[in-house]
Amino acid sequence: MKIDTGRRHEKPEKARVMTHHRIYRMSFAKIYPLLVAKAERKGRTKVEVDQIIHWLTGYGQEALASQLAKNSDYETFFAQAPALNPARLGIRGIVCGVRVEEIAEPVMREIRYLDKLIDELARGKAIDKILYRRP
């Protein structure tokens, strides 16, 4: 006689393993010019892109230049960020068809926060409207 536990479709629990996407290993020094180019195509500037990166990560201009010179990958770039801005948690919206606020993986969420801010810059949104959010 079988006992019905009501758990017919449950799979055994597995430890949650963070997925390492290829983008995590991409050099930030290779991605950075693409971010700048995206902004510049829409009449924005490298200075504004740097301002967004400073606001989001806490990197100053010298520290940002150092990360670029070291060829740090995206994951390391965010892991070594001096002071991730707590207001970044207020960033909402869709990037690459995914709601930023629903991304579970911390590194991917940070990458998409940056993407979202650069997208807003490229769309012509005023820099002060982009940066001064409330969580």
Angle between helices 61-70 and 46-57 (to 10 degrees): 90
What's the pLDDT tens digit per position in 11-21? 444 434 455 67
Q: Tell me, what's the pLDDT at 9?
A: 44
Task: Return the sign of the alpha-carbon dihedral for residues 103, 109, 113, 116.
Answer: negative
In-domain check, residue 4:
no
| pLDDT band at residue 22 under the 50/70/90 scheme | confident
Q: Supply the CATH number for residue 62's domain.
A: 1.10.8.290
In-domain check, residue 10:
no
In-domain check, residue 6:
no
In-domain check, residue 59:
yes
Structural domains counted in the chain: 1
Average pLDDT score over the chain: 85
| pLDDT band at residue 24 under the 50/70/90 scheme | confident
63 exposure class (CB count in 10 Å sphere: 0-12, 13-18, 19+): middle
In-domain check, residue 57:
yes
In-domain check, residue 71:
yes
In-domain check, residue 12:
no
pTM above 0.85, yes or no: no
Tokens 């994951």 correspond to what residue? 75
Domain that holds residue 89: 22-131
In-domain check, residue 44:
yes
